[in-house]
C-alpha cells in the first residue's frame, strides 16, 4: 500500500511520521558508541539480551494496562514473536553487538547501512514482490556512495585491515533484519504496535540470552567488574535505543514502506560523526560535509520514489477479517502494512 494510503488507514499524520523518523535518525545514530561502551565490561549477548527482555516486559505490561493486549499472547502470536525476534534482534542486533568487538565503527556503520538495499532486494525476491523503481535503485546506490565517501579508505581499512569474520557477521545481520522487516508484515503478531514490539523484544532477548549461555558468557561474567560507563550505556540503550527507538521503527513499518523506514541506516553514520565532533573533539572535514549532503539527498530520493510506488498484493493471511483492527484505529496497524 502506498505510504499515503497506509497513513490514512492508521490515522498517522505526516508530522507523526517525521517525528518517528527523526527519533530513529538521532537515537540510533548514537547507539554505536553506547554499544561499544556497554560491551567493555558486559558480555555482548548478555548485554543485549538483558536490554531487550527488560524493554519487552515493560512494553507488554504497558499495553496490557492500557487494554491494548491480553495478559498473555496467543500461541500463534508467541510463534510469530519468536520468529521476528530471531530475525531482527538475535540476527540483526546480535550481529552488531558481537561484531563491534572486532570491526571499527566506520565499517559497522557502512555494512549496517546496506539494510535498505537488502530490504528492496528481499521484497523483490519474495513471491508477489515488487520490483524496485529506477528512483529507488538510484537512491540506494547514491546512499551507499555517500557512506563510502564519509568513511573513506582510511576508515574502510581500519587498524590492521578489515576483520573479515566481523564484516561477514554484520552483513548476515543486515540481511536477517531485512527479512524480518518484510516477513513481519504477514505474521500474526498482536495488532497494537506497543504490544507487538514488546513481544518481539522479549522473545528476541530470550534468544540472545540463550546464545550467550551457549557460548559461555554466563560462566565468565563478573558483575563486580562492570564499570559505571557500561551501566550508563546499557541504560541509554534500554531507554532510548529500545523503548523509544525500536518502538518508533516498528510503528513506522506499519504506516510507511520498509525502504522509507530503513532510511535511518543512511543518516545514522552522519549523526555519529557530528556527535563525535561536538562531544569528543573529532575532526569534521569538507569531505564529511559533502558525504552528508549526498546521504541526505539519497534519503529524499528514496522517500519520494517509494511514496509513488504501487503496492504488491497482500497475502490471504494479511487480509483476513479477524486480523483487522477493531478499535482505536489511530493506534492500530492494518495487517496489509504491518512489518517488523
Report CA torsion sign: 172, 174, 175, 179: positive
pLDDT of residue 330: 37
Q: Domain for residue 54, yes or no?
A: yes
**Which bin fits 179, alpha (ψ -120 to 50), beta or left (φ > 0)?**
alpha
Backbone angles phi, psi at 332, to 5 degrees: -110, 165
Asked if 173 contacts 96 with a C-beta cutoff of 8 angstroms, the reply is yes
Furthest-apart CA atoms within the chain: distance in Å: 57
pLDDT of residue 95: 95
Q: Domain for residue 320, yes or no?
A: no
Backbone angles phi, psi at 163, to 5 degrees: -75, 115
Report CA torsion sign: 232, 234, 240, 241: positive
Using CA atoms, how far apart are residues 327 and 234, in angstroms rounded to an integer?
36
pLDDT of residue 232: 96
Enclosing H/E stretch for 307: helix 286-307
- Reported as a single tens digit per residue, the pLDDT across 313-330 is 333 222 222 222 233 333
213: nearest Cα among 45, 1, 19, 33: 45
Q: Domain for residue 325, yes or no?
A: no
How many domains in the chain? 1
Q: Domain for residue 228, yes or no?
A: yes
Using CA atoms, how far apart are residues 91 and 112, in angstroms rounded to an integer?
12
Residue 6: exposure state from Cβ atoms within 10 A (0-12, 13-18, ≥19): buried
Low-confidence ranges of the chain (pLDDT < 70): 1-11, 104-107, 110, 151-162, 276, 279-283, 303, 306-340
Q: Domain for residue 26, yes or no?
A: yes
Using CA atoms, how far apart are residues 125 and 87, in angstroms rounded to an integer?
17
pLDDT of residue 236: 95
Q: Which of helix, strand or coil describes residue 192?
A: strand
Question: And the C-alpha cell for 18?
Answer: 517525521
pLDDT of residue 281: 66
Asked if 275 contacts 33 with a C-beta cutoff of 8 angstroms, the reply is yes
Q: Domain for residue 192, yes or no?
A: yes
Q: Domain for residue 321, yes or no?
A: no
Q: Domain for residue 319, yes or no?
A: no
> What does DSSP assign to residue 269?
H
pLDDT of residue 81: 95
Asked if 50 contacts 192 with a C-beta cutoff of 8 angstroms, the reply is no
Query: C-alpha angle with apex 267: 263 to 269, nearest 5 degrees?
Result: 130
109 lies in which domain range?
A: 3-314+330-337
Q: Which of helix, strand or coil describes residue 332?
A: strand
Amino acid at each position: 500500500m502506498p505510504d499515503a494510503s497506509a497513513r490514512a488507514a492508521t490515522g498517522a499524520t505526516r508530522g507523526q511520521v517525521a517525528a518517528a523518523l527523526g527519533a530513529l535518525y538521532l537515537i540510533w545514530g548514537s547507539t554505536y558508541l553506547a554499544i561499544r561502551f556497554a560491551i567493555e565490561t558486559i558480555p555482548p549477548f548478555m548485554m543485549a539480551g538483558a536490554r531487550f527482555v527488560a524493554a519487552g516486559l515493560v512494553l507488554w505490561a504497558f499495553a496490557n494496562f492500557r487494554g491494548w493486549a491480553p495478559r498473555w499472547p496467543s500461541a500463534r502470536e508467541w510463534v510469530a514473536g519468536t520468529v521476528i525476534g530471531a530475525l531482527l534482534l538475535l540476527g540483526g542486533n546480535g550481529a552488531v553487538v558481537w561484531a563491534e568487538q572486532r570491526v571499527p565503527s566506520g565499517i559497522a556503520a557502512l555494512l549496517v547501512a546496506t539494510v535498505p538495499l537488502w530490504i528492496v532486494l528481499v521484497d523483490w525476491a519474495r513471491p508477489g514482490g515488487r520490483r524496485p523503481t529506477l528512483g529507488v535503485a538510484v537512491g540506494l546506490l547514491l546512499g551507499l556512495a555517500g557512506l563510502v565517501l564519509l568513511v573513506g579508505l582510511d576508515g574502510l581499512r581500519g587498524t590492521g585491515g578489515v576483520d573479515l569474520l566481523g564484516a561477514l557477521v554484520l552483513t548476515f545481520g543486515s540481511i536477517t533484519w531485512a527479512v524480518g522487516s518484510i516477513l513481519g508484515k504477514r505474521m500474526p503478531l498482536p495488532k497494537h504496535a506497543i504490544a507487538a514490539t514488546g513481544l518481539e523484544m522479549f522473545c528476541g532477548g530470550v534468544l540472545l540470552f540463550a546464545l550467550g549461555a551457549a557460548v559461555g558468557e554466563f560462566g565468565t561474567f563478573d558483575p563486580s567488574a562492570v564499570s559505571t560507563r557500561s551501566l550508563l550505556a546499557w541504560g541509554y540503550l534500554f531507554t532510548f535505543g529500545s523503548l523509544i527507538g525500536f518502538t518508533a521503527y516498528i510503528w513506522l513499518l506499519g504506516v510507511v514502506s520498509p525502504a522509507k523506514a530503513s532510511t535511518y541506516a543512511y543518516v545514522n553514520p552522519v549523526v555519529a560523526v557530528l556527535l563525535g565532533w561536538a562531544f569528543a573533539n573529532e575532526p569534521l572535514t569538507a569531505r564529511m560535509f559533502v558525504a552528508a549532503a549526498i546521504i541526505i539527498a539519497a534519503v529524499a530520493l528514496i522517500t519520494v520514489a517509494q511514496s509513488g510506488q504501487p503496492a504488491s498484493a497482500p497475502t490471504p493471511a494479511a487480509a483476513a477479517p479477524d486480523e483487522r483492527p477493531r478499535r482505536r484505529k489511530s493506534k492500530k496497524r492494518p495487517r496489509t502494512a504491518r512489518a517488523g
